């Protein structure tokens, strides 16, 4: 389930994985190569259209989902003329656009019926890969310099659809295929509309321990984060080795989310606590603050570990830590104060004056 650099697969019109064509673009090919089965799971619609599309889940040989797929047939209407657009679109398990393919006999075309060339397909793929493209915030009537009243309703295959024409507005001109504005608009909203919502819902409803393990073991950081979001806090202990591995690889946002979601039972686990607090120095600011806030004054082993790393604390973090050790009277207290004096003697820590003041008051 790893994600690699965008890969352009040269289209030779061959058919693989059932009736699907070899995709022109996939964000990685690893999952495609594992496809063993296809199951239709739901129907979805595009915005501003009553055209229905079928979504399938593509699974590996043991029934684990790999990708979502839809063989799309949708109309694009311009100046009173409607033409069908044929495209096979893929989503990953988070409901994010993943790639597309087209059949050799049904290439994408522009307004003047000119077929897409390789750079046009590349531009379309780049647009579809941008979940925050400006067209997300625009209505169809806002894409051209024509007035709004130029939007017309046209009947295509018995269904009324919008038909607009005019020069493309400058703000999006460079990111869409010249002569295929409405196709780009339609396909982007297919990629990020109801299909995304329903694929995410499907994953939630069909989550299994095996799938969680597969997501956590993925090279794709988005998959690992998705697994973390989907699992119940009460079940996190089942995945302790995987979560430790995730913690080591995670970006600050994912690490913070993991720490906040961890149930009290995991915080109280001596092995987990030792692992987390021993790594305090190497963590990001927010994770450090979370660790200090989570420790109680009676959790002396954690406080000892923190006292060995006070020089990695911010001013406010140090103040919080010192307030937690103020009333200690135990063997651990002596270890903590020994470490504080060692930091003071080193003389390199910017907030040594706070440590000195604290020691004077003890």
Same domain, yes or no: 15 and 99 = yes
pLDDT-based confidence at residue 78 (cuts at 50, 70, 90): low
Residue 272 belongs to domain spanning: 232-360
* Residue-averaged pLDDT of the chain: 86
> What does the pLDDT read at residue 292?
97
CA dist., res. 165 & res. 188, Å (int): 18
Q: Based on the domain organization, do 188 and 250 belong to the same domain?
A: no
Distance CA 319, CA 218 (A): 39
Domain assignment present for residue 134? The answer is yes
Whether residue 46 is contained in a domain is answered as yes
User: Are 72 and 192 in a shared domain?
Assistant: yes
Q: pLDDT digits over 28-75, tens only?
A: 888 988 999 999 999 999 876 678 999 999 999 999 999 999 999 988
**CB count in 10 Å sphere of residue 339:** 19
Q: What pLDDT is recorded for position 156?
A: 38
- The pLDDT value recorded for residue 22 is 84
DSSP 20: P
Helices (H), 36-88: none
DSSP state of 293: H
CA dist 122 and 321 (Å) reads 54
Which pLDDT score is estimated for 362? 76
Residue 211 lies in a domain: no
From 103, 91, 100, select the one nearest 184 (Cα to Cα): 100
134 and 262 together in one domain: no
What distances in angstroms separate CA 355 from CA 65, 225, 280, 288, one per listed residue?
A: 55, 38, 19, 18
- Alpha carbon distance 236, 268 (integer Å): 13
- Please state, in angstroms and rounded to a whole number, the distance separating the CA atoms of residues 103 and 32: 17
CA angle 85, 91, 93 (to 5 degrees): 165
Give the Cα-Cα-Cα angle 148, 153, 159 (nearest 5 degrees).
Answer: 145
Q: Which of residues 321 and 154 earns the better pLDDT score? A: 321
Mean pLDDT of 266-270: 94
Question: What was the pLDDT predicted at 332?
Answer: 84
- Convert the pLDDT of each residue in 125-142 to its tens digit: 999 999 999 888 887 777
pLDDT tens digits for 13-27?
Answer: 333 444 567 899 999
Position 273 in a domain: yes
Assigned domain for 109 exists: yes
> Of 146, 172, 197, at which residue does a domain stop?
197
Residue 66, domain member (yes or no) = yes
For residue 163, list its beta bridge partners.
77, 152
Burial class (CB in 10 A: 0-12, 13-18, 19+), 169: middle
Q: Tell me the chain's radius of gyration from C-alpha atoms.
A: 28
Classify residue 320 by burial, with Cβ atoms within 10 Å: 0-12, 13-18, 19+: middle
CB-neighbour burial class of residue 336 (10 A; exposed 0-12, middle 13-18, buried 19+): buried
Both 47 and 174 in a single domain? yes
pLDDT above 70: percentage of residues in the chain: 85
In a domain, 213, yes or no: no
Answer yes or no: do 237 and 192 share one domain.
Answer: no
Residue 204 lies in a domain: no
C-alpha–C-alpha distance, residues 30 and 45, integer Å: 29
Q: How far is CA 50 from the centre of its chain?
A: 29
174-211 pLDDT, tens digit each = 889 988 888 999 999 999 999 999 999 999 999 999 99
Confidence (pLDDT) at 48 = 64
Question: Which residues make Cβ contacts (< 8 Å) with residue 361, sequence separation at least 6?
Answer: none
Confidence of residue 170 (pLDDT cuts 50, 70, 90): low
CA distance 228 to 46: 30
Q: How confident is the model at residue 155 (pLDDT cuts 50, 70, 90)?
A: very low
pLDDT for residue 81: 64
């Amino acid at each position: 389930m790893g994600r690699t650099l965008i890969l352009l697969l040269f289209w030779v019109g061959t058919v693989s994985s059932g009736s699907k064509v070899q995709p022109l673009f996939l964000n990685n090919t690893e999952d495609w190569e594992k496809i063993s089965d296809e199951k239709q799971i739901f129907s979805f619609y595009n915005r501003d259209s009553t055209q229905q599309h079928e979504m399938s889940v593509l699974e590996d040989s043991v029934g684990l989902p790999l990708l979502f797929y839809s063989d799309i047939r949708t109309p694009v209407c311009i100046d009173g003329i409607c033409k069908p657009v044929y495209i096979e679109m893929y989503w990953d398990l988070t409901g994010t656009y993943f790639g597309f393919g087209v059949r050799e006999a049904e290439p994408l075309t522009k307004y003047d019926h000119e077929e897409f060339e390789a750079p046009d397909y590349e531009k379309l793929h780049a647009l579809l890969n941008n979940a925050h493209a400006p067209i997300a915030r625009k209505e169809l009537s806002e894409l051209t310099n024509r007035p709004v009243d130029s939007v017309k309703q046209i009947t295509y295959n018995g269904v009324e659809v919008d038909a607009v024409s005019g020069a493309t507005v400058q703000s999006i001109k460079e990111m869409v295929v010249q002569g295929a504005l409405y196709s780009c608009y339609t396909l982007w909203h297919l990629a990020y509309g109801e299909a995304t919502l329903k694929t995410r819902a499907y994953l939630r409803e069909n989550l299994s321990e095996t799938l969680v393990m597969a997501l956590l073991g993925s090279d794709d950081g988005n998959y690992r984060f998705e697994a973390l979001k989907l699992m119940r806090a009460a079940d996190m202990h089942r995945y302790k080795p995987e979560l430790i591995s995730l913690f080591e690889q995670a970006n600050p946002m994912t690490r913070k989310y993991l720490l906040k979601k961890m149930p009290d039972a995991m915080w109280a686990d001596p092995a987990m606590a030792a692992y987390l607090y021993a790594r305090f120095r190497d963590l990001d600011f927010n994770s450090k603050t979370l660790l200090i806030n989570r420790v109680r004054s009676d959790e002396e082993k954690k406080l000892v570990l923190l006292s060995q790393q006070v020089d990695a604390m911010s001013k406010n973090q140090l103040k919080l830590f010192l307030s937690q050790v103020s009333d200690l009277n135990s063997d651990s207290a002596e270890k903590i104060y020994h470490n504080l004096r060692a930091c003071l003697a080193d003389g390199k820590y910017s907030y040594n004056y706070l440590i000195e003041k604290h020691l004077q008051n003890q």
